[in-house]
Amino acid sequence: MSENKNRQDEFSYRYPHKVYGSLPGVHHGKSLGTGDSFAGFSDLFDYPDPRRLDLRASIRDNMATGNDNYLVKRYQQRSPITLWMMADLSRSMAISNVNHEQLANLTQLVAHSAIGLGDRFALAGFDSGLRHDVYMMPTRQRSMPIIAADMIRDAEVAPAAGVDGLIHAANMITSKHAIVFLASDFCCDLDTVDKALRQLSRYTVVPIVWKHDDVNHLPSHAGWTEMCDSETGERRSIWMRPSIKKRWKQTMDDHFEQLTNCFMRHRVRPLFTDGDVTGEQLTDYFLGRK
Amino acid sequence: MTFFGLQWALPTVLLLLPLALLPWFTHNQDKTVAWSHFVPADPISNVIGLSLKILASLVVASLIFTLAGPHVPEKKVERVGKGAEVVILVDRSRSMDDPFSTRGKALAVNRTVGKGDSKRRIAKKYLLEFVDKRPDNRFGFVLFSDKALDLLPLTYNKKSVVATINASALGKGLSETNIAKAMIKAAEMYSKEDYHGSRTVLLVSDGGQEFSEEDKQKITELYKVENLRLYWIYMRSTTGLSIEEESEDDSWKNTPEKKLHKFFKELAIPYRVFEIESVKSFSEAIDTIDEQQDQTLIVEEIVPRENKTEPFFWLALITMLALVFAQFYTAWGVRKAHD
């Protein structure tokens, strides 16, 4: 891998459904046109393309029906999709091991892979609201991956706490066919996640769950612990002791279990990560999905 | 300045007291957690947190209080005690260095300076006992030979009285004796003071002396005016005749002791003589005086300035220890979390 250091990492993916669209792309499409998957015969008169003329099929058809037609083969055209990156820019995404740099790298990876494959890439950043400064309409310009990554790197700190923007960002996704990468730490109310997933139900959603280090969840194991919430800045203080630690861990585990359940309900498989997301990881994810 | 019933040496330091609120504002221990929703609600923690903050405030406050130097100033306390004011007149003449007479040992053969049984030593021993028994008494001390030295003005300070009596028994005696001067001195000591209660002059000597007319007149006058009471502890060195005894023998009649006794009796004040022949009689005499001098007396005591910093220091120390323990426990916990 070392010799490829300067090369942008990539991953390969498949869109599981058939795409309808007039533009050519790589994903299985529904529209008829130039492609490699056979979609039936048609009369040469209707589709005057002698290159696709199938004499054998024509003769058999004429013998069967007594007509005098020439049949041409029709194919399903491959079509592009859009890869949406929904980037959580809330404050909790900017502490220690989970930071904007990793998010930017992921964005660049997704954008590069999408545009490289002829798909379009779009970006929607959110925190407490939709981030208009971190937003990109679907595009296939080759320069966009770096621009998108820089957008996230240079993004300012979230003005307010919360991830309510998730709903707005989900509303922004208007493409007919899209894979939506939802990158967040999911340390938020599950109702919001559930609502967003419901909105995104027509798309293939790939939740990328960034796990915080244990220290960021459980800063101390004993004694007086003063904490401030990364989002709200709300101060909590607690005298840590084994029983509290147990309860704390229980709450945490419950949350992530419920989160997984929530994804399962929406037939979505999350990708858990605690650092940089590599192309290999994503490739494995998509392959595992097959 | 007085706050909380205490005097403060540096009351301006108390202006720093708002610093005690600092623990309520500092958040230097803050750790950022991804989502505080995971933190369980725990009322015990709230109580502990509150008490930790209070303790920290307490440390700061008590250290500031210490800096401000709290003390109870020196003050005079008047209380009603029992006893008397006593001026002790001790003869410092050389004859006091003689061994104390006991029956069978008639005469002093050798001078026993520095030995335990000289008259001065005996007198010292019993005077100490006397002083010891009477905590509320006010003592003065006059040592006399040819001059009267008012070593100690009337005082309640037991230690200095004891020390003076001890010191009076040191060294050798001087040659002359001048009782009149000493008695005038004693009366003068009283005349400087307000009248608190029973006033006593305790004369300890082993001999008498004839006073001049002038002295006699002065003593008569002074002792009457000052309302004094006189005890004479007469330490006989020989097994001679008693002072009281009337004798035809002219030589005895004309002895200075006899004349002095006569003069004392003529003074219009309460007077008693104790003729001491033995250690036992000395202690009896002292006991008798002790019993007689049990009148109500207004006692004035000086309570010295008392520093009150110590309780604050202790408070700060103990509180700090608790906080340090909490801190160490916390540090250990944080370290464990990072492992």
In CATH, what number is assigned to the domain containing residue B222? 3.40.50.410
**Do B306 and B70 meet the contact criterion of CB atoms below 8 Å apart?**
no
Q: Are residues B98 and B243 in the same domain?
A: yes
| A contact test, residue of B32, B48, B329, B338 with most A CBs within 10 A | B32
Question: Using beta carbons and an 8 Å cutoff, which residues of B are at the interface with A?
Answer: 27, 29-40, 42, 44-46, 48-49, 52, 326-327, 329-334, 336-338
How far apart are alpha carbons B8 and A195 in whole angstroms? 67
Please indicate, yes or no, whether residues B288 and B149 belong to a single structural domain of this protein: yes
- Phi and psi at residue A86, in whole multiples of 5°? -100, 110
Closest by CA to B201, choosing from B179, B174, B218, B216, is: B179
Both tokens of B250, joined, read 């002219």
My answer on whether B94 and B142 are in the same domain is yes
Q: How far is B51 from chain A (nearest CA, A)?
A: 11
Q: Are residues B49 and B106 in the same domain?
A: no
Claim to verify: residue B112 and residue B143 sit in the same structural domain: yes
The CATH number of A82-289, from 3.20.20, 3.30.2010, 3.40.109, 3.40.50, is 3.40.50
Residue B247 shares a structural domain with residue B319: no
Q: Are residues B289 and B177 in the same domain?
A: yes
Query: Do residues B106 and B185 share a domain?
Result: yes
Quick: pLDDT tens for B294-324.
667 677 777 888 888 888 999 999 999 999 9
Residues B171 and B254 in one domain: yes
ipTM: 0.72
Inter-chain touch A251–B40, beta carbons under 8 Å: yes
Mutate to test the interface with A, among B36, B44, B328 (most CBs of A within 10 A): B36
Nearest to A240 among B29, B33, B333 (CB): B333
Q: Do B40 and A247 touch (CB under 8 A)?
A: yes
The tokens for A180 are 């939506």
Q: What amino acid is encoded at A17 in this protein?
A: H
Distance CA A167, CA A267 (A): 19
* A182-218 per-position pLDDT tens digit: 999 888 889 999 999 999 999 999 999 988 887 777 8
- Structural domain containing residue B30: 2-73+305-338
Residues sharing a CB contact under 8 Å with residue A263, sequence separation 6 or more, in sequence order: A197, A207, A269, A270
- Residue B53 shares a structural domain with residue B106: no
Q: Which segments of chain A have a pLDDT < 50?
A: 1-3, 290
Q: What's the pLDDT score for residue A84?
A: 94
Closest-CA residue of B relative to A250 is B38
Q: Which residue from A187, A216, A223 is facing B329, i.e. has the nearest CB?
A: A223
Residue B80, pLDDT > 80, answer no
User: How far, in Å, are A14, A26, A180, A235, B255 from residue A176 at the CA level?
Assistant: 16, 16, 12, 44, 145
What are the tens digits of pLDDT across the range B81-124? 776 788 888 887 777 777 765 544 444 444 444 455 677 777 88
Chain B residues touching A229 at Cβ < 8 A: 32-33, 35-36
Measure the CA–CA gap between B278 and B268, rounded to whole angstroms. 30
B51 and B118: one domain? no
Same domain for B97 and B194:
yes
